[in-house]
A and B are shown apart, each in its own frame.
Chain A
Amino acid sequence: MKVSLKWLKEYVALPDDIKALCDRLDLTGTGVEGIEKIGASFDNIVTGQIVTKDAHPDSDHLWVTTVDVGQANLGANDTPESLQIVCGAQNFNAGDHVAVALVGAVLPGGIQIKKSKLRGVTSCGMNCSERELGLGSEHDGIMILSQDAPVGVPFADYMQMGDVVLDLEITPNRPDCLSMIGMAREVGAIYGEAIHLPDQELLEIADATANYVEVEIADALRCPRYTARIIKGVKVGPSPDWLVQCVTAAGARSINNIVDVTNYILFLLGQPLHAFDFDTLKGADGKAHIIVRAAEDGEVFTTLDGEKRILKNDMTVIATPACAVALAGVMGGLTSEVSEETTTILLEAATFSSAHTSRTSRNLGLISESSMRYERGVDDNAIAFNADFAAALIAQVSGGEVCSGLVDVWEHKTEPIELAFRINRFNAMVGEDVPSDFIEDTLVRLGCVVTKAQADVLSVVAPTFRPDLEREIDLFEEVLRIYGMDRICPTLPGGRGRIGVRSIEEKAVSLIHANLRSSGLNETMTYSLVQPDEIERLRMDASEMGQAVELINPINADQSVMRQSIIPGLLQSVVYNQSHGVKNIQLYEMGSVFFGAEGKKQPKEKQKVAGIMAGAMGDGGWNSQPSAFDFFDGKGIVESLVRELAVARVRFKAFEEQEAPHLQPGRAASVWSGGSLLGWVGELHPLAVAAFDATAPVIAFELDLTALIKASKPARDYVDIPVFPAVTMDVALVVDEAVSHERLMQGMTSAGGNLLEQVNLFDVYRDEERVGANKKSMAYALVYRAADRTLTSEEVDKAHERIIGKVKAATNAEVRS
């Protein structure tokens, strides 16, 4: 809310130091978001008086003047000294009061005033014309001020144009602060100053309001109180200057005297008003029959901004029997607006339900000064006073007459609430002893009625203009913020026996992070808000992903659903890097993916960890040449991760064709721990990579974090370090291409017996001539060892032969010599 300090000063004394005021407001809960100095363009321009006027020795049209500017120019011993100013105007005499731009002033037109010499005579300022001050077109001479103008005061103050307007952030719990009176009360409480409430004497004519208006409230929940006043014989026209100044300082546009008064009262007292052109409302009997009723679903209504609105039953309208004339609490109608022809005003002062107003405003996307106040709460108890004040002011500025009596339908009166304020409990909450005198005084200044109920309990009646004061704690907050949160001594909680604990899951998660980083992957973060078609573009099988979680109000289509996989986001980061010339891309991310299901409010949120690699590990250097990433880099990362987590019975299973369409067939595997699926690793399908405009190959993996942690063990068991020597026997097996390493391994380990300790693949060799077409030679080192003795060569030979025999039989392998 914009608060003019000049206006606010009428109701409460303000400190001179505006920065200090702003700091106090900030600390007590009214955020100062902006300080606008009105009249700032008159900085360094003061009022002065011409003391002497002499002809310039070297010019026939210039004058050398001395000008008294009072305190604005101090010489030695801080005594005022006149300025010598060379002036070219002809319209002045010694003794005239003038506007003087001092050295350093910047005139509205941009002219900078400097100390200068004009034909050899020093000039320390400038006597200004109206045009130079931006106040008019007059430039035949300098501006002559009235004879009683003070000397040496800021020109802006003299013209009463100086004002400071604060832009205040009013929190939603404080409807009262959306008014000058509310802010005056707030400032009064902060500084312990008395406030002066405004009043306006109301003169009524004999003709009764009731002769012109009848009001019916169809639903008291929507409208607790509705009042109407009639002002006859008004002349709609421009507002007086003071009124224009007030409403413009508050941020409104001056429209006409009637509308400006309604806005003035809105800003002054926080009471939204609506002025109808009475003649557009009256029925055949010459009376306006006002009905406050629910809108009909689909009812069409044109608000005064010219927009056609389609209403819902949840909205409330002010209507005549013929039609709706205003959208209650939000905006008036176009047809009943006050115009230049209007002679009789029906002035509405009412209060409407906050919830209905809030929903109406949100449903129509229409926020007004009125709706903002109604949705926070407008006090029904103040309405009669506010209506009278406004009617009197309308009569004053428009020459109209106010009919006698207020037509007042008050269906639901808000009663003040009486609350207990336990001083001990308050002090226990803040952790400090705040004097009870201070507590009482603060509450009284905020508008409460306070009596001492017991030694340390106050009985507090909260004013109805403070709907936020409903409970004892609400009063506590008031006292604490006025007392000053900055005055409370900082302490630490003394709770016994509390310990910060990391759960097993958190420990596993941080182990996973550390392991992936040690594999060279950089953690990143991508949007959870994604394009709806990205799963399809990636060619991912969506059959087990449930429904995408859709936003109702996305900012743009690119971020309109919640992600179902982390990979598309990572792939986009690959594209970003590739297009910026980064060649080695190693990224991973841990986070949620979302799977919705029909009939369920909240989706399943699954935690995933995914990685992506493109290019090579590092840039290559003087002593190393990194090779391009391939499937085995991805697999290696997953292997090292599951090893770190001590995941049991890990198996990489080749995907069948079509099982994972987003991956390149033959270079993709699902990852298992026993019977539980952990995720997948592989090269993204070239078509998927192309669909994202990335450059292949791109290696990726995505694992289910929960499954991974479930399969992990917090610690591995100790295994004895062998004491007896091992014997290593090599064998090269020539097999068909279709025979996998895994199958050969299974063959060897299942036939190995307890002497075979380890099998290491050390070479894969293909050569059509030496090995044969569609064949490969797989060379293994088989390590034999017994825990309790040194093996004899006979024992080893026997075991080795048995193994080779069984593998040959199982896989049609031949031993290559």
Chain B
Amino acid sequence: MAVVDELLLLKTKALNDIAQAGDSAALEQVRIGVLGKSGTLTGYLRSMGQVPQEQRAQVGKTTNEVRVAVEAALEARKAELAAVELAAQIDASALDITLPGRAQQMGTRHLISRITDEIAEIFLGIGYSVAQGPEVETDYYNFEALNSPPDHPSRGLADTFYVRDLSGEAAAVTGESDVLLRTQTSGVQVRVMEQQKPPIYIIAPGKVYRRDVADPSHLPQFTQIEGLVVDKGITFGDLKGTLDYFCKQMFGQDRKTRVRAHYFPFTEPSAEVDVSCGICKGEGCRFCKGTGWLEIMGCGMVDPNVFGYVGIDAEEYSGFAFGMGVERIACLKYNVPDLRMLLEGDMRFLRQF
């Protein structure tokens, strides 16, 4: 048989082998068998010198054609097999994607802090800053400078925890003291007005204490947020508008607010603020005790006497103050059934928020 025919036969066999190769390893074996160091086609290339001169051009050309054809077939088959193998591999590595993911477990913010943050953000957005004050207060800041002088009946409104006065002073009434756990964050108002000139736009969140036995709706320790504005030309309408804005931001645009006249020693006129019940939309239901309204805070125009204590001219400036209980909002907005849960540290409760 002529060399050329041998080559053509070889080509046919090689292309057939390539087509038959079932995986990359078999294909590699075919490649080595044909094009490897001792491959069949390699043998022809090496022995080209022994080919008679007159056939050389013909053989050389054929050899080259065979090589190109084989190489191309190898390449094509290789790509084909790779695609099949990748598909098989992908197939084999499919996951049950309904298995739980591998997440870092983040901690959570306490509900009371979360609500406090939310409230602070609302007021920060309308130009308020945050102020702080001590939890163990003197009578002066908690009562007297808030226009509630000693023996004033308004003091009966808050059941106060008194603290042993280490300065050695004795109180006029047995069991009372000049030092106490603040019953309201309102004392911060006085401290701010002592330190800062108007305009003042602040809120003051913090813990307060009242002598109530802990039960589902009372805690002896709870959280209040106080607000204070002192500026020129502040009106009662401004107070209403501010609280209306706040309630809509906090509870939803469809909620209404109403103010009811009330009495607080440090504001005049004073009012209590109700927000319309979100469950019955103001129609009256069990949640709002049939009134359609939920009480959420106290407020009023700063009493001129309070300005007097801190040396602000009540003829030049006016202002308003408001105070709300954060735990109360936790009940209204998150339906916490028992306030005591807020202080237990139960991980199952904390992780809910």
Question: In the complex the two chains form, is B347's CB within 8 Å of A602's CB?
Answer: no
Question: In the complex the two chains form, is B260's CB within 8 Å of A500's CB?
Answer: no
> Contacts of A526 on B, CB cut-off 8 Å?
343, 345
Q: How many angstroms from the CA of A500 to the CA of B166 in the assembled complex?
A: 38
**Interface-side segment among B34-42, B62-70, B81-89, B176-184:** B176-184
> Contacts of B168 on A, CB cut-off 8 Å?
599
Q: How many angstroms from the CA of A624 to the CA of B163 in the assembled complex?
A: 51
Q: How many angstroms from the CA of A523 to the CA of B258 in the assembled complex?
A: 35
Q: How many angstroms from the CA of A523 to the CA of B221 in the assembled complex?
A: 17
Q: A29-B262, A481-B261, A603-B136 are in contact. Are A553 and B109 (CB under 8 A)?
A: no
Interface flags for A101-124 (1: CB within 8 Å of B; 0: not) read 000000000000000000000000
Q: How many angstroms from the CA of A491 to the CA of B244 in the assembled complex?
A: 9
> Contacts of A521 on B, CB cut-off 8 Å?
107
Q: How many angstroms from the CA of A447 to the CA of B269 in the assembled complex?
A: 19
Question: In the complex the two chains form, is B241's CB within 8 Å of A485's CB?
Answer: no
Question: In the complex the two chains form, is B137's CB within 8 Å of A602's CB?
Answer: yes
Name which residue of chain B comes closest to A570, CB basis. B345
- B125 on the A face (CB < 8 A): yes
> Contacts of B113 on A, CB cut-off 8 Å?
513, 523, 525
Q: What's the least CB distance linking A598 to chain B, in Å?
A: 5
- B47 on the A face (CB < 8 A): no
Question: In the complex the two chains form, is B102's CB within 8 Å of A29's CB?
Answer: no
- B283 on the A face (CB < 8 A): no
Near A by CB (< 8 A), chain B positions 329-344 give 342-344
Question: In the complex the two chains form, is B166's CB within 8 Å of A523's CB?
Answer: no
- A551 on the B face (CB < 8 A): yes
Question: In the complex the two chains form, is A601's CB within 8 Å of B345's CB?
Answer: no
Q: How many angstroms from the CA of A684 to the CA of B229 in the assembled complex?
A: 47
Q: Max chain B CB contacts within 10 Å: which of A27, A485, A549?
A: A485
- B49 on the A face (CB < 8 A): no
Question: In the complex the two chains form, is A500's CB within 8 Å of B108's CB?
Answer: no
Question: In the complex the two chains form, is A586's CB within 8 Å of B233's CB?
Answer: no
Near A by CB (< 8 A), chain B positions 239-263 give 240-242, 244-245, 258-263
Q: How many angstroms from the CA of A765 to the CA of B72 in the assembled complex?
A: 57
Near B by CB (< 8 A), chain A positions 465-500 give 471, 473-474, 476-477, 480-481, 485-486, 488-495, 498-500
Question: In the complex the two chains form, is B176's CB within 8 Å of A362's CB?
Answer: yes
- B226 on the A face (CB < 8 A): no
- A697 on the B face (CB < 8 A): no
> Contacts of A500 on B, CB cut-off 8 Å?
123-129, 201
Q: Max chain B CB contacts within 10 Å: which of A359, A552, A572, A576?
A: A552
Question: In the complex the two chains form, is A27's CB within 8 Å of B260's CB?
Answer: yes
Q: What's the least CB distance linking B292 to chain A, in Å?
A: 10
Interface flags for B100-116 (1: CB within 8 Å of A; 0: not) read 10101111111011000
Question: In the complex the two chains form, is A491's CB within 8 Å of B102's CB?
Answer: no
Question: In the complex the two chains form, is B153's CB within 8 Å of A429's CB?
Answer: no
Question: In the complex the two chains form, is B157's CB within 8 Å of A490's CB?
Answer: no
> Contacts of B1 on A, CB cut-off 8 Å?
none
Q: What's the least CB distance linking B210 to chain A, in Å?
A: 10
Q: A522-B350, A576-B344, A600-B167 are in contact. Are A431 and B237 (CB under 8 A)?
A: yes
Question: In the complex the two chains form, is A491's CB within 8 Å of B241's CB?
Answer: yes
Q: What's the least CB distance linking B188 to chain A, in Å?
A: 13
- B321 on the A face (CB < 8 A): no
Question: In the complex the two chains form, is B110's CB within 8 Å of A493's CB?
Answer: no
Interface flags for B135-148 (1: CB within 8 Å of A; 0: not) read 11110000000000
Q: A498-B199, A600-B166, A602-B137 are in contact. Are A490 and B237 (CB under 8 A)?
A: yes
- A592 on the B face (CB < 8 A): yes
Q: What's the least CB distance linking B93 to chain A, in Å?
A: 15
> Contacts of A501 on B, CB cut-off 8 Å?
129
- B286 on the A face (CB < 8 A): no
> Contacts of B209 on A, CB cut-off 8 Å?
528-529
Question: In the complex the two chains form, is B161's CB within 8 Å of A492's CB?
Answer: no
Q: How many angstroms from the CA of A477 to the CA of B234 in the assembled complex?
A: 16
Question: In the complex the two chains form, is B201's CB within 8 Å of A498's CB?
Answer: yes
Residue total for B at the interface (Cβ-Cβ under 8 A): 96
Q: A492-B238, A562-B136 are in contact. Are A520 and B347 (CB under 8 A)?
A: no
Name which residue of chain B comes closest to A552, CB basis. B162
- B348 on the A face (CB < 8 A): yes
- A519 on the B face (CB < 8 A): yes
Q: From the candidates B105, B136, B237, B245, name the one contacting A488 in the complex (CB within 8 A).
A: B237
Interface flags for A565-604 (1: CB within 8 Å of B; 0: not) read 0000010111011001010111110011010111111110
Question: In the complex the two chains form, is B345's CB within 8 Å of A429's CB?
Answer: no
> Contacts of B236 on A, CB cut-off 8 Å?
429-431, 480, 485, 488
Question: In the complex the two chains form, is A555's CB within 8 Å of B163's CB?
Answer: no
Question: In the complex the two chains form, is B172's CB within 8 Å of A523's CB?
Answer: no
Question: In the complex the two chains form, is B105's CB within 8 Å of A520's CB?
Answer: yes
Question: In the complex the two chains form, is B129's CB within 8 Å of A491's CB?
Answer: no
Question: In the complex the two chains form, is A29's CB within 8 Å of B231's CB?
Answer: no
Q: What's the least CB distance linking A467 to chain B, in Å?
A: 11
- A287 on the B face (CB < 8 A): no
Q: A517-B107, A524-B110 are in contact. Are A492 and B211 (CB under 8 A)?
A: no
Question: In the complex the two chains form, is B136's CB within 8 Å of A577's CB?
Answer: no
Question: In the complex the two chains form, is B153's CB within 8 Å of A428's CB?
Answer: no
Q: What's the least CB distance linking A466 to chain B, in Å?
A: 13
> Contacts of B262 on A, CB cut-off 8 Å?
29, 31, 171
- B52 on the A face (CB < 8 A): no
Question: In the complex the two chains form, is A431's CB within 8 Å of B221's CB?
Answer: no
Q: From the candidates A502, A525, A594, A624, name the one contacting B342 in the complex (CB within 8 A).
A: A525
Q: How many angstroms from the CA of A171 to the CA of B347 in the assembled complex?
A: 42
Q: Max chain A CB contacts within 10 Å: which of B106, B268, B269, B351?
A: B269
Q: From the candidates B134, B165, B263, name the one contacting A174 in the complex (CB within 8 A).
A: B263
Q: How many angstroms from the CA of A489 to the CA of B236 in the assembled complex?
A: 9
Question: In the complex the two chains form, is A498's CB within 8 Å of B106's CB?
Answer: no
- B97 on the A face (CB < 8 A): no
Q: A314-B172, A430-B237, A491-B241 are in contact. Are A602 and B108 (CB under 8 A)?
A: no
- A527 on the B face (CB < 8 A): yes
- A622 on the B face (CB < 8 A): yes
> Contacts of B94 on A, CB cut-off 8 Å?
none
> Contacts of A375 on B, CB cut-off 8 Å?
151, 153
Question: In the complex the two chains form, is B260's CB within 8 Å of A29's CB?
Answer: yes
Q: A498-B201, A500-B126, A553-B161 are in contact. Are A363 and B174 (CB under 8 A)?
A: yes
Q: Max chain A CB contacts within 10 Å: which of B105, B156, B261?
A: B261
Name which residue of chain A comes closest to B117, CB basis. A510
> Contacts of A562 on B, CB cut-off 8 Å?
136, 163, 181
Near B by CB (< 8 A), chain A positions 512-541 give 513, 516-529
- B217 on the A face (CB < 8 A): no
- B235 on the A face (CB < 8 A): yes
Question: In the complex the two chains form, is B172's CB within 8 Å of A582's CB?
Answer: no
Question: In the complex the two chains form, is B346's CB within 8 Å of A492's CB?
Answer: no
Q: A491-B241, A525-B112 are in contact. Are A429 and B129 (CB under 8 A)?
A: no
Q: How many angstroms from the CA of A621 to the CA of B128 in the assembled complex?
A: 46
- A173 on the B face (CB < 8 A): yes
Q: Max chain B CB contacts within 10 Å: which of A355, A432, A521, A601?
A: A601
Q: From the candidates B167, B211, B271, name the one contacting A485 in the complex (CB within 8 A).
A: B271
- B154 on the A face (CB < 8 A): yes
Given contacts A430-B236, A480-B236, A562-B136, 8 further A-B contacts (CB under 8 A): A471-B304, A477-B268, A495-B127, A498-B201, A499-B127, A523-B109, A529-B220, A562-B181
User: 26 A-B contacts, Cβ less than 8 Å apart?
Assistant: A27-B260, A172-B154, A362-B173, A363-B173, A376-B153, A480-B261, A491-B237, A491-B241, A493-B229, A493-B231, A495-B199, A495-B231, A500-B123, A517-B108, A517-B109, A525-B342, A527-B343, A549-B136, A553-B211, A562-B136, A562-B181, A572-B345, A577-B346, A592-B135, A601-B167, A617-B105
Q: Which residues of B contact A (CB under 8 A)?
A: 99-100, 102, 104-110, 112-113, 123-130, 134-138, 150-154, 156-157, 161-169, 172-179, 181, 199, 201, 207, 209, 211-213, 220-221, 229, 231-238, 240-242, 244-245, 258-263, 268-271, 301, 303-304, 318, 342-348, 350-351
Instruction: Report, nearest first, the 5 A-B pairs whose CB atoms are least far apart.
Output: A573-B345, A431-B235, A431-B237, A171-B263, A29-B261
